């Protein structure tokens, strides 16, 4: 139900795909970005979800590649979403790096920088049949996507 203990190289790959652009972003934040006035409850959900998702990604071997079955399509879908996430980052880094670029949609996916990785990790949880990962990504999604929604709403109402 919660998974088999063991290192996941797929989880590590997903985390690298998540973290490397975020490390680069920390030096190339959008003009006018601030994390002030973020909802403290959403921030708590985001931080807890980040920790749980990272831990689950690494400590459950269920995410590693096994024999090919139709169930493997979940892993392929998750990986495609992470590739789209990387493409979204490329577009952001090539942009003028305004707030509107950071909270943009991508291929019709709203708030792609927040939603793509959350959905990808959720699908990874489905692939691995790891309930802990599903719970972790739900917690993460509430916080991370919620905060991005707040920022986008402020952006729209402020006409920035």
- In tens, the pLDDT along 32-45 reads 899 888 999 999 99
Tell me how far apart the alpha carbons of residues 34 and 121 are, in angstroms, rounded to a whole number.
26
Helix-then-strand count for the chain, H and E: 6, 0
Question: Following CA atoms 57, 63, 64, 68 in sequence, which dihedral angle do they give, to the nearest 10 degrees?
Answer: -160
Alpha helices in 62-130 (DSSP H): 72-94, 99-102, 112-128
Inter-CA distances, 119 with 51, 99, 135, Å: 16, 22, 12
Tell me how far apart the alpha carbons of residues 103 and 75 are, in angstroms, rounded to a whole number.
26
**Averaged pLDDT score across all residues of the chain:** 95
- In tens, the pLDDT along 127-155 reads 999 999 999 999 999 999 999 999 999 88
The pTM assigned to this predicted structure is: 0.95
Q: What is the per-residue pLDDT for 160?
A: 60
Residues in the chain where the model's pLDDT stays below 70: 1, 160
């Amino acid at each position: 139900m919660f998974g088999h203990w063991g290192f996941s190289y797929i989880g590590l790959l997903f985390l690298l795909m998540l973290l490397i652009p975020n490390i680069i972003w920390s030096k190339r934040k959008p003009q006018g970005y601030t994390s002030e006035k973020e909802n403290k409850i959403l921030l708590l959900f985001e931080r807890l979800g980040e920790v749980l998702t990272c831990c689950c990604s690494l400590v459950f071997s269920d995410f590693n590649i096994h024999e090919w079955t139709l169930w493997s399509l979940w892993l392929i879908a998750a990986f495609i979403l992470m590739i789209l996430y990387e493409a979204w980052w490329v577009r952001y880094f090539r942009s003028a790096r305004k707030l509107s670029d950071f909270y943009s949609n991508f291929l019709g996916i709203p708030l792609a920088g927040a939603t793509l990785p959350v959905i990808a990790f959720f699908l990874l949880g489905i692939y691995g049949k790891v309930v802990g990962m599903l719970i972790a990504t739900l917690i993460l999604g509430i916080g991370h996507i919620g905060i991005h929604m707040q920022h986008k709403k402020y952006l729209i109402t402020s006409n920035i």
